């Protein structure tokens, strides 16, 4: 058991929890805050959504121990929140609940929409609410309630809501705050996790997550970070098992220029929205990447090594990382091969193999996620071209991926292919 200290609904809480205890269970079973509902317990239905440091988070796939030092707000703690007061009144006006099972999670997501997207229209509100399921199918009332509050805030902005929006804008974008833990404490966590390893035989791999988390606390790469063989060529080494995605993009530059560019890791990272490199030592880097896909958001911190074969123009980036909040671990290889398709044009073939462990693992199997990654690769290709051209915008951070448009295009593409297949 670990002692977890956190602020829940404005109160300092210190309670015992097993490393594998999810925040949802912790809130309900330890703190008796049963307003947080559990539906799927797989991160899909959104019923368990609570606010952590003001951001909506699924408590069923977040370990309680990962929330050390955070501010957690559940539906029982919304009374003094001005925006929640407005949303609750709107939910009542628009009959936006029937059995009420989904309502705590709906409110948390609705609050986020009003703060983050002041100009959202109905289509955008529906898209943003897509990660919260209502069994009573009361969506029309819920959407109307959110639109009502958005309109109110456009017509007569509330000072407190404006302040909350300002806070959100000025908050660092780097994802979840790391835990502040003394190095000795982190080392103890590694030791105790290793001692406990044999007992963790079912469910989420708690002990290995704890080891990874402890390494992260002391600023090291997770223990599972793959070590590349010193003499390995780009194609050497066993291919990891996992989900595989192949993609390609063309760059209007000669092969040698593209090869040089792709060896510059900070430049490559600057083409990937959400990615940043924190340190580099030769071909080894440490960094983080933030990913948001529909209801899921994760910020993986980890380490990677680039192996390049100048003769064959093949390379592989081997890496592993961990999401601070859900403690999910990702490991994978991104291999690429350059092919000169003309004197001034190069095709980059990408072969990605990755595996996810922990609460987010269920999302790695979805076809939608594979489509999403292919789109990201295509977007990355466009950014490479912009950077290599070096014109306007080349020194600016990459523009964010238009998530709403991308998700809509993916869904629309799938519907079209379904419709076409039946004709």
Q: Which residues bind ligand FES (CB under 6 A)?
A: 38-41, 43-48, 58, 60, 97-102, 134-136, 138
Residues 378/246, Cβ–Cβ less than 8 Å = no
Query: Given the complex with ligand FES, which of 56 and 319 has the nearer CB atom?
Result: 56
For residues 214 and 323, what is the distance between their CA atoms, to the nearest angstrom? 13
CB of 42 vs ligand FES, minimal distance in Å:
6
Q: What's the min distance (Å) between Cβ of 131 and ligand FES?
A: 8
Least Å from the CB of residue 58 to ligand FES: 5
Residue with Cβ nearer ligand FES (136 or 182): 136
d(CA 91, CA 75): 14
What 3-state class would DSSP assign to 19?
coil
**Cβ 207 to ligand FES, closest distance in Å?**
23
Specify the residue, 270 or 326, whose C-beta has the smaller distance to ligand FES.
326
- Shortest approach of ligand FES to residue 397 CB, angstroms? 32
Nearer to ligand FES, 134 or 350 (CB): 134
Nearer to ligand FES, 11 or 365 (CB): 365
d(CA 194, CA 208): 8
CA 212 to CA 206: how far, in whole Å?
10
3-state secondary structure 261-328: HHCCHHHHHCCCCCEEEEEEECCEEEEEEEEEECCEEEEEEEEEEEEEECCCCEEEEEEEEEECCCCC
Q: Which is nearer to ligand FES, 136 or 174 (CB)?
A: 136
- Least Å distance, CB 291 to ligand FES, is 18
DSSP letter at 419? Answer: H
* Least distance from ligand FES to the Cβ atom of residue 110, Å: 13
Bridging pattern class, strands 314-323 and 296-309: antiparallel
The Cα 181–Cα 88 span in angstroms is 38
Residues linked to residue 284 through DSSP beta bridges, in sequence order: 281, 305
Cβ proximity of 339 and 346 under 8 Å: yes
Nearer to ligand FES, 44 or 401 (CB): 44
CA distance 19 to 11: 22
Min dist CB 225 to ligand FES, Å, is 29
Output 84 or 348, the one with its CB closest to ligand FES: 84
Long-range contacts of 48-52 (CB under 8 A, 24+ apart): 48/24, 48/105, 49/104, 49/105, 49/108, 49/109, 49/132, 50/23, 50/24, 50/74, 50/75, 50/104, 50/108, 51/108, 51/111, 52/176, 52/325
Cα–Cα distance, 35 to 22 (Å, whole number): 15
User: Minimal distance in Å, beta carbon 45 to ligand FES?
Assistant: 3
| Shortest Å, Cβ 145 to ligand FES | 12
Q: Calculate the alpha carbon distances from 120 to 123, 138, 281 in Å.
A: 8, 20, 44
Q: How far is the CB of 141 from ligand FES (least distance, A)?
A: 9
When the beta carbons of 138 and 212 are compared against ligand FES, the nearer one is 138
Q: Which is nearer to ligand FES, 116 or 135 (CB)?
A: 135
Number of Cβ atoms within 10 Å of the Cβ of 16 = 12
The residue among 2 and 98 lying less far from ligand FES, judged by its C-beta, is 98
């Amino acid at each position: 058991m670990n002692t977890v200290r956190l602020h829940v609904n404005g109160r300092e809480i210190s309670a015992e929890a097993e490393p594998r205890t999810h925040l949802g269970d912790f809130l309900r079973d330890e703190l008796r805050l049963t307003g947080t509902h559990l539906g799927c317990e797989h991160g899909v239905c959104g019923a368990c959504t609570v606010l952590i440091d003001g951001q909506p988070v699924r408590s069923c796939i977040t370990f309680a121990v990962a929330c050390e030092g955070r501010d957690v707000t559940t539906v029982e703690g919304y009374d003094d929140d001005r925006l929640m007061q407005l949303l609750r009144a709107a939910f009542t006006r628009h009959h936006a609940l029937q059995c009420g099972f989904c309502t705590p999670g709906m409110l948390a997501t609705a609050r986020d929409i009003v703060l983050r997207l002041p100009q959202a229209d109905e289509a955008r509100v529906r898209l943003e609410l897509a990660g919260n399921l209502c069994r009573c199918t009361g969506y029309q009332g819920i959407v109307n309630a959110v639109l009502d509050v958005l309109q109110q805030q456009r017509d007569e902005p509330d000072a407190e809501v404006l302040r909350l929006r300002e806070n959100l804008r000025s908050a660092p974008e780097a994802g979840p705050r790391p835990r502040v833990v003394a190095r000795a404490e982190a080392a103890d966590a590694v030791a105790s996790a290793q001692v406990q390893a044999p007992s963790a035989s079912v469910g989420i791999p708690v002990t290995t997550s704890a080891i990874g988390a402890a390494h992260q606390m002391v600023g090291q790469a997770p223990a599972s970070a793959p070590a590349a063989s010193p003499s390995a060529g780009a194609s050497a080494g066993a291919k990891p098992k996992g989900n595989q995605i192949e993609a390609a993009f063309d760059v209007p530059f000669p092969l040698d220029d593209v090869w040089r560019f792709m060896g510059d890791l900070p430049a490559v990272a600057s083409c990937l929205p959400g990615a940043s490199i924190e340190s580099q030592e030769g071909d080894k880097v440490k960094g983080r990447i933030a990913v948001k896909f529909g209801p899921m958001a994760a910020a993986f911190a980890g380490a990677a090594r680039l192996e390049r074969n100048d003769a064959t123009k093949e390379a592989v980036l081997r890496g592993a990382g961990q999401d601070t909040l859900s403690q999910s671990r990702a490991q994978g290889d991104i291999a690429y091969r350059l092919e000169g398709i003309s004197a001034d044009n190069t095709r980059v073939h990408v072969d990605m193999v990755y595996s996810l462990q922990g609460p987010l693992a269920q999302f790695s199997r979805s076809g939608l996620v594979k489509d999403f990654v292919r789109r990201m690769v295509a977007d990355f290709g466009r950014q490479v071209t912009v950077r290599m051209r070096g014109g306007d915008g080349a020194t600016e951070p990459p523009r964010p991926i238009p998530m709403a448009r991308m998700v809509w295009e993916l869904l629309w593409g799938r519907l079209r292919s379904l419709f076409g297949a039946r004709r």
